[in-house]
Every structure is written in structure tokens, then in C-alpha cells.
Chain A
Amino acid sequence: MRRRTTALDGVAALLILLLMVQIWLLSATLDAYLAGHTDAALPGAICSGLIFVAVAGLYRFVQRLDRAR
């Protein structure tokens, strides 16, 4: 139980870190878009998508951890 809790803490910390990067990415892309620059939109969306895939992977890891309980 304790090891599982530690794993969850680690996952939550990693998720928060990834989300901070994603928030920065979204605000930077939006700022560029509002300034009339469209070039940042595609790399921004790709990076955000990759971060979401990583986050979803961590969520699946937690689900598997639950099933193993």
C-alpha cells in the first residue's frame, strides 16, 4: 500500500510538471496567434499533443496499479 502511494505521489508530481509546461505552451502559442503570427501554432499543437499522450500514459499506469490492487 505504501509503495503504491509513493508511486501515485511520483505520478502526480510528474503530471503537475508536464501540465506546467503545457500551460506555458498554450499561453505562448495564444500570445503569438493574437500578435498575428501563425507559425507557432503547429509546433505548439504537436508538443501539446505529445505531452497529453505522456499524461494519458501516466493515467493508464495508475489505472493498472489500481487493477493490481
Chain B
Amino acid sequence: MANSGDKPAARNRESLWKDEFSIFQERERFVSRRQLIKFLTLTSLGMFVGNVWILFRSWMRRDSTFPRQEIARIGEIPVGGVKLFRYPNPKEQCLLVRTSEDNYVAYSQKCTHLSCAVYYSREDNQLICPCHNGRFSIRDGAVIQGPPTRALPHVILERKGQELIAIGMSGKLES
């Protein structure tokens, strides 16, 4: 009983196979075009899903709050000195630079091109990515030269007495 029930399905499979891989050239061309259209439709669906994923991530991160974290004490690093710290989570490396006696700036250390670690060059007064020689302004993290197209995410600092506290990040969504 089960065998007789399977027979029509097997026949359908065979006919589909013959249809997909026809021996007639005209039909074969017709089938390959149809398959291309099927593939293009699936690709379009994939890209739509990608856009929805970005929308979902945007909504998820819109209300995210950054933690307050003490990153250094005033005078802990000399003028032109650098201190590395992790913010807003233990996976994200950032660097704090003392640019003058009273001025501190902090940025994500991850280059916006291919995520290499940037370093501070005191001679050039710039943040430099050694991988592709991308350079960022120490003043605002903007791209000066090289392949990166986006500025470095900027860590917002607050001075509370003798402590420097990171309170958020601009140009970055992940918390």
C-alpha cells in the first residue's frame, strides 16, 4: 500500500528532473533562465532580510545606555602620553591621549576601515592605523588620509575632581 502511494510522487520527481535537465537545447536554455530568475529572487529576499536586520539592530541600540566608568586620574599620564582602556565593554579597546596640560581625548582603538588597532603618533599629533596608513585627527577623530571613510568613535569624557570618567560614545551604536 505504501509502495503504491509512493509511485506517483516518484513519477513526479522524475518528470521534474527531466524538465529541469531537458535534452532539447531550446528547453535547456529556457530552464537555465528560469533558475537564474529563481536565484535572483532569493538574492533579493536575502538583501531585504539584511535591511530588516539593520533596522532591528538600530531599534535595539537606539535606547542603549553607556556605563559610567572611571578610566584614569588627572596627571596619571604625561602630556603626549597614552593610556589604553576598555569601554563600553571588555571587548572594546579604547585609547586616552593627553594632548595638553588640561586636555584629554579618547577614541575607540579600532580603525573604521578593517578594525586594526590605531596608535597615537606624538610627532604627527595624529592617530595612525599601521595596516593601511589611515590617519585620524586627534581633535575629533575625523579621517585625514587613507582608506577609512568614517571617523573614529569618540569616547565622551567627564572630569569629576581628579578622575576622568567615560560617560558615552558618539559615532558608535554598540554598548
- A residues near B (Cβ < 8 Å) are 1, 4-5, 8-9, 11-12, 15-16, 18-19, 22-23, 25-26, 29-31, 33-36, 38, 41-42, 44-45, 48-49, 51-52, 55-56, 58-59, 62, 66
Contact = CB atoms under 8 A, between A and B. Distances in A.
Provide the main secondary structure of the chain B interface.
helix
A38 B37 contact: no
B41 A55 contact: yes
Contacts of A22: 44, 47-48
B33 A12 contact: yes
Interface stretch (B4-12, B57-65, B77-85): B57-65
Provide the main secondary structure of the chain A interface.
helix
Contacts, number: 106
Interface size, B (range) = 20 to 34
Contact of A30 (B44, B54, B59, B153): B54
Given A26-B50, A45-B52, A48-B51, A33 B57 contact: yes
